[in-house]
């Protein structure tokens, strides 16, 4: 059984370190555990500090502050690829109380298929009680923050049972509850798959209430387990009564209430919002206004947009295999030999076996301790496969390598150096060479009718077909094949992942077009060299099927009308043009 422990960090390294220290108490005898820290673009050296103290923890950098829900969703995604059966969410300003919390929560979850989420009792961390003056010295650290919950639909707020009471065991029960706090809960894999994760529109506050509603409305139950507990430093991230709290609580209460409440309550909520807009604090007024303007997600003025996030690794190498085990083995051998420049301290390799019928695991078993190995039960295609490796990567830069590539002479650090010289603002590709050491064309202009006319009838080489830039220095191009394609994470955040609408073919062209539209340059780096067994991967699909997928990809990219016009020009060029080149110009590597 696989359990992913997920926490979110934003400039809270001390709290996160204390949480990770407490997690060391866990009894993991019956589980396979993975602890994942989502860093929401911290600027306090969180990543380097956490990595040094806990090198076995996976630290996933979001790159920008995605808020509570957006950050945790990245963790859910990462843990799902790893294969988690349960997801244990816990705030970084919390500590576990004992070694058996996971077992106790899972025991409750396993009682019925209808139980979807289980939450423990949550006590104030000693010294963080709301009303410390009420309690004796011996009572501090024993005050309840959450002993199960309900939702007050008349006032659109969650209600924590037992809050501010000293714990005398009256809530040491296991029972269904209407609400669980996002501070700590366990959720089943199948529930997360059906309900989805948090709604990123909230950014902060009410995303847990929203998740509870969606889980309940698809037929799953929420449970409270008072037989185990955690300690929580309440509101350490935002502060009680802060501008952040005022804004997000006001706006998101409106979002949630207008989505789920009855009409009578909605009317009362709108009336209250008018009062806040006229007489409330500035952040509350802004929250009401932004609700009506349809502004969701994070508010730029409340975020540290100048933060330069750090990453636990410099380079993640993604490889997707489909029935090419021997080629994949050669690629891994070329990566892990000293001459490639691979450094395990700052690099990682992710291999996805994309529904192969040939036994990749057996062929590459010698590398399994060194790589992150994941499997699909069926072939999901090129883009979906590589997108999965991107989501499962931790590096500042992501390098896509086809399984029919081999790394030559220190090319990995050369690509990193070039990426650094461009400040992570450019996409890069290396120089591809055939196995006989002859050159291989890998750059292209985006395909157009005008480009085809110039290539066929005016004999202007490189206008439509692939070409190799002649410069021995990095040179800007309009497109590069994805056999070797380095994308900085900051560009992935800006441009997005590969287009999954096609199974294979044209994803490189589509992505390069998107890069151009968003002003992201692409550079050919000739000093970084890679052997490419061109077409070896595609052969496994079969020629007839591959050609059908190529046509489908072309039509998806160009649109039906433009595709027909372009096909006519290409066919005409074959018969009448000055250059005789196969029509199927865009063949997959």
pLDDT tens, position by position, 154-195: 999 999 999 999 999 999 999 999 999 999 999 999 999 999
Buried b (16+ CB within 10 A) or exposed e, 321-333: bbbbbebbbbbbe
pLDDT, residue 586, reads 43
What's the CA gap between 363 and 325, in Å, rounded? 6
Does residue 466 contact residue 588 with C-beta atoms inside 8 Å? no
The SS3 call for residue 272 is helix
Count the helix, strand and coil residues of the chain and give each as a percent rounded to the nearest 5. Answer: 40, 25, 40
Query: CA-CA distance, 161 to 201, in Å (whole number)?
Result: 27
What percentage of the chain exceeds 70 in pLDDT?
94
Q: CB of 554 within 8 A of CB of 586?
A: yes
Say which CATH topology domain 313-446+467-486+521-535 has: Spore Coat Polysaccharide Biosynthesis Protein SpsA; Chain A (3.90.550)
Q: In the predicted model, is pLDDT for residue 589 greater than 50?
A: no
Predicted TM-score (pTM) of this structure? 0.92
The encoded tokens of residue 116 equal 């979807």
State the chain's maximal CA–CA distance in angstroms. 95
Q: Confidence band (pLDDT; 50, 70, 90) for 241?
A: low
Query: Per-residue pLDDT tens for 50-66?
Result: 999 999 999 999 999 99
Q: Distance between CA atoms of 353 and 79, rounded to whole angstroms? A: 17
161 neighbors 150 (Cβ within 8 angstroms): yes
Residue 527 pLDDT > 60, yes or no?
Answer: yes
The kind and range of the H/E element at 203 are none
pLDDT at 558: 84
Nearest of 354, 299, 304, 297 to residue 325 by alpha carbon: 354
What gap in Å lies between CA 322 and CA 312, rounded to an integer?
29
Distance CA 412, CA 486 (A): 10
Query: Do 425 and 515 form a contact (C-beta atoms < 8 A)?
Result: no
C-alpha torsion angle, residues 112, 113, 116, 118 (rounded to 10): 20
Q: Do 2-232 and 313-446+467-486+521-535 come out as alike in CATH topology?
A: yes
| Distance between CA atoms of residues 533 and 402, nearest Å | 9
Of the candidates 91, 93, 247, 226, the one whose C-alpha atom is nearest the C-alpha of residue 160 is: 226
According to CATH, the topology of domain 2-232 is Spore Coat Polysaccharide Biosynthesis Protein SpsA; Chain A (3.90.550)
What the block records as the tokens of 28 is 């993991």
Could you list the beta-strand ranges (E) of 284-334.
313-321
Q: Could you tell me the residue ranges of all domains in the chain?
A: 2-232, 248-302, 313-446+467-486+521-535
pLDDT-based confidence at residue 562 (cuts at 50, 70, 90): confident
Average pLDDT, the chain: 92
Q: Which two tokens stand for residue 381?
A: 């295609």
Cα separations in angstroms, 216 against 117, 194, 219:
10, 11, 5
What CA dihedral angle connects 563, 568, 570 and 575, to 10 degrees?
170
Classify 6 as helix, strand or coil.
strand
Nearest alpha-carbon partner for 245 in 254, 257, 256, 237? 237
């Amino acid at each position: 059984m696989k359990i992913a422990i997920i926490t979110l960090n934003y400039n809270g390294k001390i709290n996160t370190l204390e949480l990770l220290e407490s997690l060391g108490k866990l009894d993991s005898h019956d589980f396979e555990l993975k602890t994942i820290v989502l860093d929401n673009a911290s600027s306090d050296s969180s990543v380097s500090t956490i990595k040094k103290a806990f090198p076995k923890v996976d630290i996933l950098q979001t790159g920008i502050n995605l808020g509570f829900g957006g950050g945790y969703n990245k963790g859910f995604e990462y843990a799902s690829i790893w294969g988690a059966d349960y997801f244990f969410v816990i705030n970084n300003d919390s500590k576990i109380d004992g070694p058996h919390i996971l077992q106790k929560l899972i025991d409750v979850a396993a009682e019925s298929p209808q139980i979807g989420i289980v939450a423990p009792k949550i006590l104030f961390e000693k010294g963080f009680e709301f009303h410390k003056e009420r309690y004796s010295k011996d009572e501090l650290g024993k005050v309840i923050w959450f002993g199960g919950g309900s939702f007050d639909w008349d006032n659109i707020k969650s209600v924590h049972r037992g809050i501010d009471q000293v714990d005398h065991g009256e809530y040491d029960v296991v029972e269904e509850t209407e609400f669980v706090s996002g501070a700590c809960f366990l959720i089943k894999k199948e529930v997360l798959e059906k309900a989805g994760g948090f709604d990123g529109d909230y950014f902060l506050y009410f995303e847990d209430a929203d998740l509870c509603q969606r889980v309940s409305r698809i037929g799953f139950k929420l449970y409270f387990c008072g037989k185990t507990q955690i300690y929580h430093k309440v509101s350490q991230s935002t502060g009680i009564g802060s501008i952040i709290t005022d804004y997000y609580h006001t706006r998101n209460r409106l979002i949630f209430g207008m989505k789920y409440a009855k009409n009578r309550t909605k009317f009362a909520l709108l009336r209250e919002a008018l009062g806040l807009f006229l007489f409330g604090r500035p952040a509350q007024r802004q929250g009401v206004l932004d609700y009506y303007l349809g502004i969701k997600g994070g508010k730029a003025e409340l975020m540290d947009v100048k933060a330069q996030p750090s990453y636990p690794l410099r380079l993640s190498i993604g490889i997707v295999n489909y029935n090419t085990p021997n080629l994949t083995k050669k690629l891994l051998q070329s990566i892990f030999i000293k001459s490639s420049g691979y450094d395990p301290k700052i690099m990682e390799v992710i291999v996805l076996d994309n529904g192969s019928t040939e036994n990749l695991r057996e062929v590459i078993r010698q590398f399994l301790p060194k790589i992150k190995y994941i499997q699909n039960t069926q072939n999901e295609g090129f883009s979906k496969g590589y997108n999965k490796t991107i989501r499962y990567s931790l590096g500042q830069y992501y390098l896509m390598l086809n399984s029919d590539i081999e790394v030559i002479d220190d090319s990995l650090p050369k690509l990193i150096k070039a990426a650094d010289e461009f400040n992570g603002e450019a996409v890069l590709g290396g120089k591809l060479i055939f196995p006989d050491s002859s050159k291989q064309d890998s750059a292209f202009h985006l395909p157009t009718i005008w480009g085809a006319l110039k290539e066929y009838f005016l004999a202007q080489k490189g206008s439509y077909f692939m070409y190799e830039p002649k410069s021995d220095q990095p040179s800007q191009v309009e497109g590069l094949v994805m056999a070797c394609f380095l994308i900085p994470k900051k560009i992935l955040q800006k441009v997005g992942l590969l287009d999954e609408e096609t199974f294979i073919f044209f994803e490189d062209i589509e992505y390069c077009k998107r890069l151009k539209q968003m002003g992201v340059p692409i550079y050919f780096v000739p000093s970084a060299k890679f052997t490419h067994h061109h077409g070896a991967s595609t052969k496994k699909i079969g020629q007839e099927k591959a050609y059908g997928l190529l046509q489908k990809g072309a039509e998806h990219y160009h649109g039906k009308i433009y595709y027909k016009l372009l096909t006519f020009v290409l066919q005409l060029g074959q018969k009448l043009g000055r250059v005789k080149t196969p029509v199927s110009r865009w063949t997959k590597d």
